[in-house]
């Protein structure tokens, strides 16, 4: 199926704002419907009374929306956290912990405790998924450019370059000494990239901060990763739409839930098309090329966003059968697999609306 040639940063911003609008509009409609059915007299205006802040970090648009507090300094604190973690965890930011590890030549690097925590989580999911989630794939990821605004920059890496990089993607080369907060790469050519889990980790940190500020009703949205804080102001569920692949502003199904993370990984998020073939950013760690299966996207519903971030990528890589088998083995984790014919398969406890 032929799609648009690429998604630029500008287009990703536009798509993200459409996702935010979709979440809010759906929730408002649900609120109105509940009011009509129960006769409780709830006014939609109570849900539209909020403070929010939007900015650009982690190469994506982020939005924090708070419904039960009006203190703008809380939003200041959220953005300070976003800045902190952007500077700490980005593999592309010179001087970040990850950049320092990747350029250490295999010598131990002292890092922030939060970096250790995220690397520990990353290695856990790498083991759990048999490497389908791989935090050591940076040398392969760097060969691809899915973000350029210039279509002329979109090229497929040479097989020889990928074959040269693949031997240096063993996540077991990442060794952590928790007693000294140091990280060492036993293979100096390994490159860490935490892009498949960092947004979830950061969302969880922002939620922790909001709870510490007595916020009990909010939506944290990092590049389309939605993390719900509590419920709507009337104590009813949020209703969140799962985007229909390649149909910005439309959704394929909805979820009604509270205090959960909803994370989607899909081929339509970052991709380009050459000679009728779509090349997307979800790379197969075994081949270094985009995963080829019958899926368009995987959505994970979980308590913690880092879990959802890692598992949405891993389940896409594993494919629908092995991915669903993994999800059904995990407590408190649900998934929706969207196929390339737009059919959807849900895990046994998925909170479909």
Query: Which residues are documented as binding site?
Result: 196, 309, 313
d(CA 100, CA 90): 10
CA nearest neighbour of 102 among 142, 130, 132: 142
Q: Provide the pairing of β-strand 261-266 with 225-230.
A: antiparallel
* Burial (Cβ within 10 Å: 0-12, 13-18, ≥19) of residue 277: exposed
Binding-site entries for Mg(2+) = 196, 309, 313
Q: Are 232 and 112 in contact (CB under 8 A)?
A: no
d(CA 19, CA 240): 10
The SS3 call for residue 243 is strand
CA nearest neighbour of 196 among 103, 291, 84: 291
Structure tokens belonging to residue 325: 């088998």
Q: Are 265 and 245 in contact (CB under 8 A)?
A: no
Q: Are 205 and 191 in contact (CB under 8 A)?
A: no
């Amino acid at each position: 199926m032929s799609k648009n040639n690429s998604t630029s940063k500008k287009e990703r911003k536009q798509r993200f704002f459409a996702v935010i609008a979709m979440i809010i509009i759906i929730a408002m409609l649900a609120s109105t419907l509940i009011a009509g059915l129960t006769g409780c007299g709830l006014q939609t205006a109570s849900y539209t009374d909020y403070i929010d802040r939007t900015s650009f970090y982690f190469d994506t648009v982020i939005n924090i929306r708070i419904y039960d507090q009006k203190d703008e300094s809380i939003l200041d604190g959220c953005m300070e956290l976003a800045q902190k973690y952007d500077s700490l965890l980005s593999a592309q930011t010179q001087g970040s912990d990850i950049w320092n590890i990747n350029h250490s030549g295999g010598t131990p690097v002292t890092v922030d405790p939060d970096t250790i925590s995220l690397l520990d989580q990353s290695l856990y999911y790498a083991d759990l998924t048999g490497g389908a989630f791989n935090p050591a794939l940076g040398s392969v990821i760097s060969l691809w450019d899915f973000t350029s605004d210039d279509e002329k920059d979109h090229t497929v890496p040479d097989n020889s370059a990928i074959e040269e990089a693949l031997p240096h993607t063993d996540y077991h080369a990442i060794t952590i000494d928790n007693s000294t907060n140091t990280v060492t790469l036993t293979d100096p050519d390994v490159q860490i990239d935490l892009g498949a889990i960092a947004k979830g980790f950061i969302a969880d940190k922002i939620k922790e901060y909001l709870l510490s500020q007595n916020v009990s009703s909010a939506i944290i949205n990092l590049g389309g990763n939605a993390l719900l804080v509590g419920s709507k102001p009337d104590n009813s569920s949020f209703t969140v739409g799962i985007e229909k692949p390649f149909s910005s502003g439309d959704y394929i199904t909805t979820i009604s839930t509270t205090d959960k993370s909803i994370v989607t990984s899909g081929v339509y998020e970052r991709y380009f098309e050459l000679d009728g073939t779509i090349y997307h950013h979800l790379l197969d760690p075994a081949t270094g090329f985009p995963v080829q299966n019958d899926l368009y996207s995987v959505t994970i519903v979980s308590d913690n966003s880092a879990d959802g971030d890692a598992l949405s990528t891993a389940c896409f890589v594993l494919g629908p059968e092995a991915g669903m088998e993994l999800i059904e083995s995990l407590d408190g984790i649900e998934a929706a697999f969207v196929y390339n014919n737009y059919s959807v398969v849900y895990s046994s406890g998925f909170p479909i609306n």
